[in-house]
Amino acid sequence: MDNDSEELLKSDIIDRNVRQGLNLTWLNFAVLFCATIIASVGLNMDSVAVIIGAMLISPIIDPIIGMGYGFGIRDSKLIEKAFTVYLIEVVVALIASAIYFSLSPIKDASSQIIARTQPAIWDVLVAFFGGVAGIIGSAKKDPGNILPGVAIATALIPPLATVGYGMSQFKWTIVLSAGYLFLINTFFIALATMLGTLIFNFRKKKVAIPWKNQLFIIAAVVIIAIPSLVSASNLVKETYNEAQVTSFVDNELPEVYVVNKEISGKKIKLTVIGSDIKNSEIKALDKKLPEYKLGDYKLQLQQISKGNYLSVSAFKKYVSQESSSSISSDASDTSDKTLLKLKQRLNKKYPDIIDKIYIGQLVEKNGSDKTIVLIRLKEDNQDNQAKVKKYIQYQADDLGISPTIHFTNN
């Protein structure tokens, strides 16, 4: 065995590092309080960088490793001390996050908060192997970037801060979901630490776990992991269904633009803009769902345009429903010179035909964009519509944009 391996397996190294991390001092709790406030700000403002910073300075992983190590060497005093530190730190973190979110003017749950309410089996794997890496890092004289990496990967403080958010807003579903994620992280980090301690045999003698304790550990693993397996199964199913719906829309509805897609219960709800779709066509589309493995669902279409016509109120509704995009509802916004240029060219070309122009651009998550052009004509007839439409298409090619053109009579 080389020197590095011998150093790694020395029991005094991990014992010293673990015990040094169990500090019942106000400084330790003050650092945790600050880390929780930072994490809460990151969650509140949807900032991943701030959340990562909070995870790096949070000391809450130390007592969890301490509990796992204590069980591994069967040291009841160490377990008691680690659990005491852990319990106090949990209370401090909950108080800090609850105070922050109670005072914050932003009460809505951000995407980062929502992300902490959907635990799945992958969180179990991250916590377990994070715990393995943590015990290895604690066993080295110089852990390098192992422990900071474990702190980021296992993400203990964000779900705990999310629990504080749920408590402050009386949203008990969030409390339970984020609390379950925190429980997963705590339990499987401690379990990995205990198993790592036994495997590395830090006490230099074999420590057997009584069979009753083994059964208890197995039962706890199964009970805690089952909800995450169910959640993962539902997530995989949702992802598959969303992909199938996207394929259905691309193949069967090429002439319309889908504002919003929603799978709710046994219904697929599509809000569309474009050519008019008759009831008979909707029924025909519904019958095609089994071809996309969506036979258990019923298709519902909400059309916010009639042919080429789109009302201003429908245009605003279209904008508000486009949840997956960022949108500028007026081309006069100087941040989009291309849309402004299109609007100027239209006004210059047809001052006697065009009464009003509304232009918006959707920048979607996949990087593509869609320009919505809504025209109100002074004299609305087929000739004027065709003339304006042809000119817009010509200018769109020149400006490199993809427009959806509609007319309004109000």
Domain boundary pick from 163, 190, 207:
207
In the three-class reduction of DSSP (H, G, I as helix; E, B as strand; rest coil), residue 301 is classed as strand
Domain harbouring 150, CATH code: 1.20.1080
DSSP state of 355: E
- pLDDT, residue 6, reads 45
User: What would the pLDDT profile of 346-374 be if each residue is shown by its tens digit?
Assistant: 888 888 888 888 776 655 544 456 677 87
- Report helix, strand or coil for 298: strand
| Structural domain includes residue 189 | yes
For residue 316, pLDDT over 70 is answered with: no
Specify if 159 maps to a domain. Answer: yes
Q: How many domains does the chain have?
A: 2
Name the nearest CA neighbour of 317 among 302, 307, 331.
302
pLDDT bracket for residue 209 (50, 70, 90) = low
Lowest mean pLDDT among 38-52, 324-338, 366-380: 324-338
Mean pLDDT of the chain: 77
- 225 vs 37: which has the higher pLDDT: 37
Mean pLDDT along residues 326-351: 65
* Residue 393 domain-assigned (yes or no): yes
Instruction: List, in order, residues 6 or more apart from 226 with CB less than 8 Å away.
Output: none
Work out the end-to-end distance of the chain between its first and last CA atoms, rounded to an integer number of angstroms: 83
Which of the pair, 258 or 281, is modelled with greater confidence? Answer: 281
Domain final position from 186, 207, 228: 207
Which residue, 347, 363, 353, 332, is CA-closest to 395? 347
pLDDT of res. 324: 40
Residue found under tokens 């702190």:
151
* Shared domain check, 169 and 28: yes
CB neighbour list of residue 13: distance below 8 Å, 6 or more residues apart: 7, 138, 139, 140, 141
Asked whether residue 330 carries a pLDDT value surpassing 60, the answer given is no
354: containing domain: 322-410
In a domain, 235, yes or no: no
Quick check: is 314 in a domain? no
In this structure, is residue 313 part of a structural domain?
no
Residue 136: how many CB atoms within 10 A of its CB? 17
Domain boundary among 184, 207, 230: 207
Q: At 313, is the pLDDT very low, low, confident or very high (cuts 50, 70, 90)?
A: low
Are residues 202 and 347 both part of a single domain? no
Q: Is the pLDDT of residue 57 over 70?
A: yes
Hey, what long-range contacts does 283-288 have (CB within 8 A, 24 or more apart)?
Answer: 285/252, 285/253, 288/248, 288/252
Within a domain: 65: yes
pLDDT at 407 over 70: yes
| Pair 70, 193 in one domain | yes
* Helices 121-138/61-73 angle, 10° precision: 70
Among the listed residues 10, 194, 160, 140, the one whose alpha carbon sits nearest the alpha carbon of residue 90: 160
pLDDT tens digits for 380-406? Answer: 888 888 888 888 888 888 887 878 787
